[in-house]
Chain A
Amino acid sequence: MKGVGNVDAETGRILKRTEYITFVVIALVALLLLRLPGSVSSRAKLALGSLFVPLFGLSASGQALADRVALLAQPKTRLVTEVERLRKENAELKIHLLQADDALRENERLRSLVGWARAHQLKGKPARVIGRDPANWWRNITINLGRRDGLTPDLPVLTPDGLVGRIAEVSETRARVALLGDPACRVASLVQEGKQTVDTGIISGAASATDVTIVDLSYLSRGSGVKPGQMVVTSGYGEVFPRGILIGHLVDYRPMEYGLYTDARVKLAVDFNRLDEVWVLMR
């Protein structure tokens, strides 16, 4: 029997028993999924994630087309100026590279004299940011490199400005990067004043839920000589992040837990709101 509008007689009926059972079964299956071991869960996620590959590809093509159109719309004089600037910068960088190569050769020579193990040269691969975590409570991005490009978990990710994070999960064609500030990306750090190390600490998490540029630096020693403005770099402990990569600068600090240790806040060198391209350091 028809009621008002499109409502029919069935809407007056409460849920059937089978419907209740179905909902309860689904809830139980969901809870079972939550208890799966991490490796099984990761593999299931990667398998499901392959469904999005065509859409990410389409998005990348669309972005490339938009960039091309934007480039065509730019006046020629501006492009010529930009090319000249890049030529000049390229020439300067070549000179710096020659000097750096020279310093590296000297370093290798001195290491071999002292008998130290040969330092590994790090190579980077450029990647584009193609997505971010859809949930507001994680700090992750997705990049367009994956296992087929040689990526493995725990590779450092950075930009010319500083450290970004580490590779958390890798699929065939893309990878998820845990950013600084995410609970899955803790970094052993040094606070430096010039070339002098003032203290050591750990970048432990985000200082604010909305401001992605400030993170917490925890477990600095009591009575630490840290001051706002000091530089924070990776310490190299833990062998995930090489030593000396810039993280940011100290903003402020405060004693914690009845003065047992000191906490500080660090303004990151990289602006995550403008992150379009990153570099993955390969081993």
Chain B
Amino acid sequence: MNFHPLQTVLMAGMAFLAVFAQAGWLAPARIIGAQFDLLPGLMVYASLKASSTTVSLVAVAGGLLLDTLSANPLGISIVPLLVVGVVTHRFRHLILREEAYAQSILGLAASAGVPLITVLLLVTLGHQPVLGLGSLWQWLVMSVVGALWTPLCFACFDRLLRGLSYTPLDRGGFRADREIERGRY
């Protein structure tokens, strides 16, 4: 896929807003005891619809911004997001990316995988995150919210990009390499 500057800027902006929403909106944690994560769903969209450059940029930007507002060591959130992005990008030609259920399942898997990898890295590096049986409930909430958020991501970004960019020109059926040259004989 080609690098699309507008798409990249929109996605980086969305990552910025998503991280702020996670930190600034206190209601979900107070009511249900778990905070959701919007970045994995965003990574799924980037890896299926954007270029590898955009995938890398969103992983780096999203990961750094999340760690900035968190007690996480700086850089720890980049790796799980990048893993999700690379794996999905690698197999994107096999995925029915226009189907909402496929987007939802990928969002669920990404939102479940990212916190697992992050916690694994934290424990490996010697940190002591607050974990317990309640973490399973938090993991479930993050996964379900990711499953719901990812198709929404696709719908919003597709509509936004269609509205803000030119419609791609239809090339038609003509192909210069298939032209029949009629000669004298």
A contact residues vs B (CB 8 Å cutoff): 2, 5-7, 10-16, 19, 22-23, 26-27, 29-34, 36, 41, 44-45, 48-49, 51-52, 55-56, 59, 129-140, 142, 168, 176, 178, 181-184, 205-212, 273-274
Contact = CB atoms under 8 A, between A and B. Distances in A.
Given A33-B74, A142-B23, A209-B138, A49 B129 contact: no
B52 interface: yes
A20 B165 CA distance: 29
Contacts of B134: 208-211
A137 to B, nearest CB: 3
Nearest to A211: B134
Contact of B79 (A27, A56, A206): A27
A132 B78 contact: no
Contacts of A274: 30
Nearest to A11: B93
B78 A30 contact: yes
Nearest to B97: A7
6 contacts: A34-B125, A41-B73, A135-B72, A136-B34, A136-B135, A176-B71
Contact of A209 (B74, B127, B130): B130
Contacts of B127: 183
A137 B69 contact: no
Nearest to A49: B68
A132 B35 contact: yes
B73 A206 contact: no
Contact of A34 (B24, B52, B75, B128): B75
A140 B70 CA distance: 8
B23 A15 contact: no
A73 B59 CA distance: 44
Contact of A136 (B19, B86, B89, B138): B138
- List the 5 shortest-distance A-B pairs measured between CB atoms, nearest first: A33-B75, A210-B134, A209-B134, A137-B129, A134-B22
B69 A131 contact: yes
Interface of B: 1, 16, 19-20, 22-24, 26, 29-30, 33-35, 37, 52-53, 56, 59-60, 63-76, 78-79, 82, 86, 89-90, 92-93, 98, 115, 118-119, 121-122, 125, 127-135, 137-138, 142, 171
Contacts of B59: 26
A272 to B, nearest CB: 9
Contact of A142 (B69, B133, B171): B69
A135 B142 contact: no
Contacts of B86: 15, 23
A182 B71 contact: yes
Contacts of B35: 132, 134-136
Given A29-B78, A132-B26, 12 more contacts: A11-B93, A30-B60, A33-B73, A33-B78, A34-B75, A34-B125, A44-B74, A45-B74, A133-B71, A138-B71, A207-B132, A210-B134
Interface of A is mostly: mixed
Contacts of A16: 52
B78 A26 contact: yes
Nearest to B52: A19
Contact of A133 (B69, B131, B142): B69
Contacts of A12: 93
Nearest to B170: A2
Contacts of A129: 26
Nearest to B79: A30
A206 to B, nearest CB: 5
Nearest to B2: A10
A211 B34 CA distance: 10
A11 to B, nearest CB: 4
A132 B22 CA distance: 8
B73 A34 contact: yes
B66 to A, nearest CB: 6
B60 A209 contact: no
Given A5-B98, A6-B98, A48-B64, A131 B75 contact: no
B1 A30 contact: no
